[in-house]
Copies of this chain bind each other. A is one copy, B any other.
Amino acid sequence: MAPDQHERVVDLRRLRRSCRECSLRTLCLPAGIPPADMEQLDRVVQSRLPLDRGQSLFRAGDRLEHLYAARSGTLRTAQPGSEGDEQVIGFHLPGELAGLEAISDDTHHCDAVALERTSVCAVPFGRLQEVAARVPALQSQFHRLISRELVQDQQHLIALGRRTARERLALFLHSLAQRLEASGLDGCELRLVMSRDDIANYLGLALETVSRLLTKLTEEGVIDVERRRVRIVDPVALARVAGQPVIAGGTGERDREHGS
């Protein structure tokens, strides 16, 4: 018990032992796999040395070798344009897979870069398919994860298609909070590891617009911004601005303060 407690503290940072012991096992590929089959997955999943901030995991044009699961830290994926410009596609938090777009034609379509010190597991895609064919629970979970990515992209699409700058930013903060809560962290205290530029690009806005709106939402008492720390002061208001249904307990652990 005592050594176990100690280990839990450095849980996210230590090098991988096995999926079975991973703190993200309920989110990531191993979710739902019977203990007896876990070993098969463990045999194909590879540890990697952590990436430093700015280091890239793969680049557009690279041949697909592995899929990657973020274990700690954050990855940013972006599609480079023809004139040096790029579109940020997504941010990958612990437990989320990266590289799935490459399956379409065995080629990565994005650059993936670590926004902070980031550990990943590398999963050789070919071997993953082999194991998935033998372990139905893994197959199911893999399909769920890739479909979840699809849903996330579609949410992102809706944000870019029909919403104002204000709504987009609120939605971004809201969904970031929700994802953090999904991995058991406090969703009201955000560390924005990405720059204003990244956020703006991701949301299809100008950097200045993001800055202005962060200030405005702070003035309105919805959030509290201090450099790259964002505290969600009024989760209910944030959800309302984001146009999201307010779920009791979801990104709003405290009592509703403003009624309705």
Shortest CB distance A135–B (Å)? 9
Shortest CB distance A22–B (Å)? 21
A100-B150, A133-B134, A162-B204 are known contacts; what are 6 more A-B pairs with Cβ within 8 Å?
A87-B158, A89-B154, A103-B144, A146-B146, A150-B150, A150-B153
For the complex, is A40 an interface residue (Cβ under 8 Å from B)? no
CB proximity to B under 8 Å, residues A224-247: 243, 245
With an 8 Å Cβ cutoff, the count of chain A residues facing the other chain is 43
Partner of A129, one of B109, B140, B156: B140
> Which stretch (A12-20, A77-85, A252-260) binds chain B?
A77-85
B147→A101 contact, CB < 8 A: yes
For the complex, is A5 an interface residue (Cβ under 8 Å from B)? no
For the complex, is A190 an interface residue (Cβ under 8 Å from B)? no
For A144, the chain B residues whose CB sits under 8 A away are 103-105
Known A87-B161, A109-B151, A153-B153: A133·B143 in contact at CB below 8 Å: no
For A157, the chain B residues whose CB sits under 8 A away are 87, 89, 153, 156-157, 160
